[in-house]
């Protein structure tokens, strides 16, 4: 008998939750984590964040996000810095690209807790129609799961994470949530600007598309895994406006916290700095082991490389290493002649998705400052317009109201100060001189400009649905490796017309939104940003939402999907491939909650086998 019942690759959201569930049932679990452990002092992460000149989502975490040398890093991951300073340069960018590909806008981490460290905490459920996008709207792919099968699992993971929300709000948002359901915690309060906006925006749909007949615009409180009361030994949110990259007080649930709970069961062991590179298959077609390489040095460039290797054996194997890394491991694992593990369908790596995000920003009226840069990054959104017959024509979107001013949009408040001292207009606000020229200000004039603009800044973000496409895919780079010699991902990424039409709709909705609020819109297309496309003669920038999905989609037909209803490989009965990579469609809701609910189903299935 193998020493471990279950081997899990990756300690992020899915892996940590699964390890806790299995460990608490007395199952022996070994976790293999490519990155380092959590430091003894969480303040070390905070210190890295405070001292980072570029406060990207990766800035608190190793390896150094400002020093991107993926060829010379033992377990590199994508960073926003790479996207900004050299997305198409393999010396800088961990992800490599095929010619003609657009940049993939999202990033992920490799360390204890994985990308679950810097998620925002939004926990919206998906709705019935989201699970049958193809059947209902003739786009994308269908799930083998119906939404109501997840009700109990949604409730379970909401209790595990600690979700603050209101059933009444979700019903107003047109969610398919049982009316009798009670969230674990009362909802997070709306921000001051949320309330002002809600009072003016609620009502008729934001666009005059016929499809919207009978639908209403409703700003609702966003359910989120953030404490509104003390919960599970964690504090209430103090509004650090820093959910991404890091909540300083862990009021936001994160996967590193779950990992701690998993370890506390006494049945879970973690090996850090242990990079799975290949999966081996036995004569019987079952997985026989996970081959891994070890290393010590997390610095960039690494002073040393591989320090050892080994093979982990267990009864059941789980890949929970994130969508792109799961595909990378599978594609790097030969099986039979000319094939790779779990890939008889040739679907591994395909259907890569994200929420392509349309950002819009403006200034609130002079008499109604937003007083942004306070509270969680977002406390409300417009969910009520996500679903309708229009989805036969264009992608769904949800609208998130931000609380962080123009931080995402323009890097504020770091643009405005230099702009008014150097007479520049990088932020778009310094045009009050003669004929709209920029000014140089000091003393009270400077203070007035800073206060007057910063307190009125707000942004909205439309998370636009991406439909699954065969051509959007992860392959292995034929030439580029990391410092351990493992091939790096080769990405082909584009946005379909369906998604691009969603951007057209979002732009129209923005105009009406700003009109109702009485706000002055400042949204600008940035030609210097590589994340751009043109549709219907309009140019758009898109941003990543951090929602890396697809790559090993679940389905009901073995030749058209990688895993089944249980996230179990069609090809290898003792291999489960879990995470957002299993999602065949992602609607416009942030995916972590649904991914965990599906993982909860998978845990139940594994428990019948070990």
Alpha carbons within 13 angstroms on the beta-carbon side of residue 231 total 23
Residues in 103-162 that interact with another protein by CB under 8 A: none
Contact 416, 330 (CB under 8 A): no
| Contact with another protein (CB under 8 A) among 75, 246, 385, 578 | 246
Residues in 214-233 that interact with another protein by CB under 8 A: 228
The yes or no reply on residue 43 touching another protein (CB under 8 A) is: yes
Q: Considering beta carbons, is residue 415 or 548 the nearer one to another protein?
A: 415
Which H, E and C letters describe 303-336, residue by residue? CCCEEEEEEECEEEEEECCCHHHHHHHHHCCEEC
User: How remote is the C-alpha of 519 from its chain's centroid?
Assistant: 29
Least distance CB 439 / another protein (angstroms): 8
For another protein, which stretch binds (CB under 8 A), given 240-248, 253-261, 393-401, 489-497? 240-248
Q: Can you tell me the distance from the alpha carbon of 283 to that of 287, in angstroms, rounded to the nearest whole number?
A: 9
For another protein, which stretch binds (CB under 8 A), given 171-179, 437-445, 544-552, 599-607? 437-445
Q: Considering beta carbons, is residue 172 or 192 the nearer one to another protein?
A: 192
Residues in 161-200 that interact with another protein by CB under 8 A: 189-192, 195
Least distance CB 199 / another protein (angstroms): 14
Buried b (16+ CB within 10 A) or exposed e, 289-305: bbbbbbbebbebebeee
Contact 285, 572 (CB under 8 A): yes
Residues in 519-548 that interact with another protein by CB under 8 A: none
The interface mask with another protein, positions 359-398, x = CB under 8 A, is ------------xxxxxx--x-------------------
Contact 487, 476 (CB under 8 A): yes
CB-based contacts of 609, cutoff 8 Å, min separation 6: 315, 316, 574
| Contact with another protein (CB under 8 A) among 91, 98, 232, 424 | 424
Q: Which residues are registered as beta bridge partners of 4?
A: 314
The interface mask with another protein, positions 440-479, x = CB under 8 A, is xxxxxxxxx-xx--xx------------------------
Q: Can you tell me the distance from the alpha carbon of 308 to that of 36, in angstroms, rounded to the nearest whole number?
A: 16
For another protein, which stretch binds (CB under 8 A), given 174-182, 237-245, 349-357, 474-482? 237-245
State the number of binding residues for another protein (CB under 8 A). Answer: 64
Contact 329, 586 (CB under 8 A): no
The DSSP line for 385-416 is: TS-SGGGGTS--EEEEEESSTTHHHH-TTTTH
What 8-state DSSP symbol labels residue 609?
T
The yes or no reply on residue 248 touching another protein (CB under 8 A) is: yes
The yes or no reply on residue 315 touching another protein (CB under 8 A) is: no
Q: Which residues here bind another protein, judged by CB under 8 A?
A: 40-41, 43-44, 46-53, 55, 189-192, 195, 228, 236-242, 246, 248, 371-376, 379, 403-405, 407, 413-414, 417-418, 421-424, 433-434, 437, 439-448, 450-451, 454-455
């Amino acid at each position: 008998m193998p020493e471990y019942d279950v081997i899990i690759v990756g300690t992020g959201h899915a892996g940590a939750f699964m390890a806790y569930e299995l460990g608490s049932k007395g199952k022996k679990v070994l976790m293999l984590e490519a990155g380092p452990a959590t430091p003894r002092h969480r303040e070390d992460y905070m210190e890295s964040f405070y001292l980072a000149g570029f406060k990207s989502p990766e800035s608190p975490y190793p390896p150094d996000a400002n020093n991107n040398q993926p060829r010379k890093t033992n377990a590199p991951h994508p960073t926003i810095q790479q996207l900004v300073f050299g997305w198409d340069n393999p010396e800088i960018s961990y992800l490599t690209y095929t010619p003609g590909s657009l940049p993939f806008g999202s990033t992920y981490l490799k360390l204890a807790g994985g990308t679950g460290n810097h998620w925002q905490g939004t926990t919206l459920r998906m709705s019935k129609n989201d699970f049958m996008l193809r059947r209902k709207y003739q786009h994308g792919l269908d799930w083998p799961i119906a939404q109501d099968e997840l009700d109990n699992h949604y409730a379970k993971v909401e209790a595990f994470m600690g979700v603050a929300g209101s059933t009444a709000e979700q019903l107003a948002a047109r969610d398919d949530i049982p009316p009798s359901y009670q969230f674990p915690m009362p909802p997070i309060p709306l921000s001051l600007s949320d309330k002002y906006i809600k009072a003016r925006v609620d009502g008729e749909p934001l666009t005059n598309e016929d499809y919207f007949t009978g639908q209403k615009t409703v700003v609702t409180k966003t359910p989120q895994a953030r404490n509104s009361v003390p919960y599970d030994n964690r504090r209430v949110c103090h509004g650090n406006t820093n959910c991404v990259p890091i909540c300083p007080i862990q009021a936001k649930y994160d996967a590193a916290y779950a990992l701690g709970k998993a370890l506390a069961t006494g049945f879970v062991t973690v090996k850090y700095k242990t990079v799975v590179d290949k999966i081996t298959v036995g004569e019987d077609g079952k997985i026989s082991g996970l081959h891994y390489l070890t290393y010590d040095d997390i610095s960039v460039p690494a002073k040393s490389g591989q320090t050892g290797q080994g093979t982990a054996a267990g009864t059941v194997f789980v890949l929970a290493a994130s969508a792109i890394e799961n595909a990378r491991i599978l594609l790097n694992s030969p099986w039979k002649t000319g094939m790779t593990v779990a890939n008889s369908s040739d679907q591994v790596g395909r259907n890569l998705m994200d929420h392509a995000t349309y950002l819009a920003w403006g200034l609130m009226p002079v008499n109604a400052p937003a007083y942004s840069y306070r509270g969680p990054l977002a406390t409300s959104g417009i969910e009520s317009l996500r679903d309708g017959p229009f989805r036969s024509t264009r992608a769904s979107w949800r609208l998130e109201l931000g609380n962080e001013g123009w931080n995402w949009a323009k890097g504020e408040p770091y643009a405005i100060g230099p702009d008014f001292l150097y007479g520049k207009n990088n932020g778009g606000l310094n045009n009050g001189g003669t004929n709209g020229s920029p000014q140089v200000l000091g003393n009270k004039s400077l203070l007035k400009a800073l206060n007057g603009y910063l307190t009125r800044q707000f942004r909205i973000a439309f998370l636009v649905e991406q439909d699954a496409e065969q051509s959007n895919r992860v392959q292995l780079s034929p030439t580029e490796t990391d410092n351990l010699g493992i091939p790096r991902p080769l990405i082909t990424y584009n946005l379909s017309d369906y998604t691009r039409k969603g951007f057209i709709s979002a732009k129209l909705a923005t105009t009406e939104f700003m009109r109702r609020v009485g706000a002055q819109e400042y949204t600008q297309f940035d030609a210097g940003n590589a994340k751009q496309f043109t549709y219907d003669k309009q140019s758009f920038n898109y941003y990543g939402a951090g929602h890396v999905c697809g790559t090993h989609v679940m389905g009901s037909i073995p030749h058209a999907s990688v895993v089944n209803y249980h996230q179990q490989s069609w090809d290898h009965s003792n291999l489960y491939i879990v995470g957002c990579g299993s999602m065949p469609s992602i609607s416009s809701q942030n995916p972590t909650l649904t991914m965990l609910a599906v993982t909860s189903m998978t845990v139940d299935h594994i428990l019948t086998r070990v």
